[in-house]
Chain A
Amino acid sequence: MPVPHFVRAASSLDPIAHLYSQHNGWLLRWLRGKLACADHAADLAQDTFLRLLTVPADPASLREPRAYLTTVAGRLVIDHYRRQSLMQAWHDTLAQLPEQFAPSPEDRLELLQTLERIDRMLDGLGARVRAAFLMAQLDGLTYADIGDRLGTSERTIKRYMVQAFERCILCIV
């Protein structure tokens, strides 16, 4: 029996919908194993497929959809935990900040978004590189001072800075 025309059209025009129906089930189960909250798992499964819509995938990767989807979803899980720890640190910091240093309520949202941007940009840098970068760019310490604190040479700190700036320049959005 010939395949009805509209079915073939739908599956070729909309490979994402096809992927979704084939793979949403196991992806959701896989995500539930990684996250405590079932709602978050469902959100991240959605986000995984959304990512396929917004970032054009390499056709080769779609030949191995399971591997590809786990990679994308895995990245989203890491991102989820990263954001969660950012929020935690944000709340802790605001709670401890003397009143006169606290940002006004209307500034908070924008500041949090800026922090989130920077956090994403720095994600994946080594701990020492990140620490050195923040000491220089936020606290205004000199490279020599940072070298002293991290027990390394100014030359190494310079190398760290180049590495961090390079990443930021490539990643900033």
Chain B
Amino acid sequence: MTSILSPAVDPRAAREAAQWITRLQSAPPDAIDHTAWQTWRAADPAHELAWQRAELVMHTLGMVPPAIGTPVLGRPQQGRRASTRVLAALILAGPAALAGYATARAAPWQDWFADVRTTTGEIRKLVLDDGTRLALNTDTAVAIRFDSGTRLLRLHHGEIHVATATDTRTPARPFVVQTASGRLRALGTEFSVRANHGVLAPAARVAVAAGAVEIRPAQAPHLVRVIAAGWQAGFTEHAIEPATALGAAGARLHAWVNGVLLADETPLAHLVAELARYRTGVLRCDPALVNLRVTGAFQLRDTDNILELLQRSLPVKVTRRTRFWTTLEPR
């Protein structure tokens, strides 16, 4: 269906855009010919239009949390010669969903421009040109662009922890972290940023350990707000949530920098969602268990070992259906 507001896409360009996006999603990044892709886009305005629609499709899909999208959109289709067996399989997969946090939702075509990235389960620390210390949490991609005017870090996805250094150049260049939902300016500081696909839009959360950070939402730059040390705030491209005090959660939020996952009376569901970020495949928690509380310090290096520990200390058992499918169930 097309309307006056959205011009119709040329069917052939749509086909080619679909082939590109599929190739970009499935091929390993180093096997992709960027030049050919860019050449295709630039060759014809019809291609560019089709590509923009493709991006809109991905953006729209990205707004849906899997926990809801999978069962709702994957419901059996009526009045069609549907293969019920397949759909049943999908509904079973639905709860994976609860593992929403567990599956990587990266928009893969953003990653190639990233200079540094970590794979699922990897934590990486580096020192930047100006002495700033940067840590990348699991499944994170950042592009570092320092030039004469700005020290810019683009967070494509994932989570980073930054401890800025005083700039080596004079005049000092601002240190900026750009996310899909907005721009953060460090005001002499130590902080972490996590970008995720919020329920409705790209969302990010900044937690400030020292100094202060200024938030400027991408679509509402006038809503600028400064978050001080000991506070955190979530924001989307349109709005900033009221800041909340970190309190004891502060240590927990930054513990991953040292490879540790801290739990303090944490609901099991939260812990599992957090663990799932460090594992490939699906890790889910039986709904009967979500309110069990857990306290402890866990080494993120070995998440299988954490599951083993949970099994020993809580009334749960870990069931591995396949290599990619692990469930915590009541014992």
B93: interface (CB < 8 Å): yes
Distance A164 CA – B61 CA, assembled complex (angstroms): 13
Contacts of A169 in B (CB 8 A): 9, 14, 17-18, 50, 53-54, 57
A139-B60 in contact (CB<8A): no
Contacts of B74 in A (CB 8 A): 130-131, 134
Distance A137 CA – B104 CA, assembled complex (angstroms): 10
A residues 128-171 near B (Cβ < 8 Å) are 128, 130-131, 134-143, 145, 149-150, 154, 158, 161-166, 168-171
Distance A69 CA – B264 CA, assembled complex (angstroms): 64
Distance A162 CA – B18 CA, assembled complex (angstroms): 5
Q: Within the complex, what minimum Cβ distance (angstroms) separates B285 from chain A?
A: 9
A residues 57-75 near B (Cβ < 8 Å) are none
Distance A131 CA – B73 CA, assembled complex (angstroms): 9
Closest to B23 in A: A158
Q: Within the complex, what minimum Cβ distance (angstroms) separates A54 from chain B?
A: 9
Contacts of A170 in B (CB 8 A): 8-9, 11, 14, 53
Contacts of A142 in B (CB 8 A): 26
Instruction: Give how many A-B residue pairs fall within 8 Å (CB-CB).
Output: 171
A114-B89 in contact (CB<8A): no
A residues 70-115 near B (Cβ < 8 Å) are 78, 81-82, 85-86, 88-90, 92-94, 96-98, 100-101, 103-104, 107, 110-111, 114-115
Cross-interface CB contact of A111 among B21, B70, B199, cutoff 8 Å: B199
Cross-interface CB contact of B22 among A122, A135, A140, A161, cutoff 8 Å: A161
Distance A133 CA – B298 CA, assembled complex (angstroms): 36
Q: Within the complex, what minimum Cβ distance (angstroms) separates B90 from chain A?
A: 5
A contacts with B: majority SS: helix
Whether A78 touches B79, Cβ cut-off 8 Å, given contacts A118-B61, A158-B26, is yes
B79-A114 in contact (CB<8A): no
Contacts of A118 in B (CB 8 A): 60-61, 64, 69, 73
Interface residues on B, range: 35 or more
Distance A119 CA – B57 CA, assembled complex (angstroms): 12
Contacts of B79 in A (CB 8 A): 78, 81
B68: interface (CB < 8 Å): yes
Whether A81 touches B68, Cβ cut-off 8 Å, given contacts A150-B89, A165-B21, is no
B56-A172 in contact (CB<8A): yes
B267: interface (CB < 8 Å): yes
B89-A131 in contact (CB<8A): yes
B90-A131 in contact (CB<8A): yes
B287-A93 in contact (CB<8A): no
Distance A103 CA – B282 CA, assembled complex (angstroms): 21
Cross-interface CB contact of A172 among B57, B69, B80, B82, cutoff 8 Å: B57
Contacts of B69 in A (CB 8 A): 115, 118, 134, 138
Distance A134 CA – B98 CA, assembled complex (angstroms): 15
B54-A165 in contact (CB<8A): yes
Mark interface residues in B48-65 (1 if CB within 8 Å of A CB, else 0). Answer: 001001101110110111
Distance A97 CA – B83 CA, assembled complex (angstroms): 26
B77: interface (CB < 8 Å): yes
Contacts of B1 in A (CB 8 A): 171, 173
Distance A117 CA – B50 CA, assembled complex (angstroms): 18
A121: interface (CB < 8 Å): yes
A173-B3 in contact (CB<8A): yes
Whether A140 touches B104, Cβ cut-off 8 Å, given contacts A97-B67, A121-B57, is yes
Mark interface residues in B22-57 (1 if CB within 8 Å of A CB, else 0). Answer: 100110000000000000000000000010011011
A3: interface (CB < 8 Å): no
Q: Within the complex, what minimum Cβ distance (angstroms) separates B39 from chain A?
A: 19
Distance A95 CA – B71 CA, assembled complex (angstroms): 12
Q: Within the complex, what minimum Cβ distance (angstroms) separates B300 from chain A?
A: 20
Q: Within the complex, what minimum Cβ distance (angstroms) separates A42 from chain B?
A: 22
B78-A85 in contact (CB<8A): yes
Contacts of A138 in B (CB 8 A): 61, 64, 66, 69-70, 73
Whether A139 touches B70, Cβ cut-off 8 Å, given contacts A161-B22, A172-B60, is yes
B26-A81 in contact (CB<8A): no
Contacts of B64 in A (CB 8 A): 111, 114-115, 118, 138
Cross-interface CB contact of B63 among A88, A98, A114, A162, cutoff 8 Å: A114
Distance A142 CA – B77 CA, assembled complex (angstroms): 24
Interchain residue pairs with CB less than 8 A apart (5): A139-B97, A140-B103, A150-B89, A158-B26, A171-B1
Besides the known contacts A96-B287, A100-B269, 13 further A-B residue pairs in the complex with CB atoms under 8 A apart: A97-B67, A101-B68, A103-B65, A104-B199, A115-B72, A115-B73, A131-B74, A131-B86, A138-B69, A139-B96, A150-B86, A165-B57, A173-B1
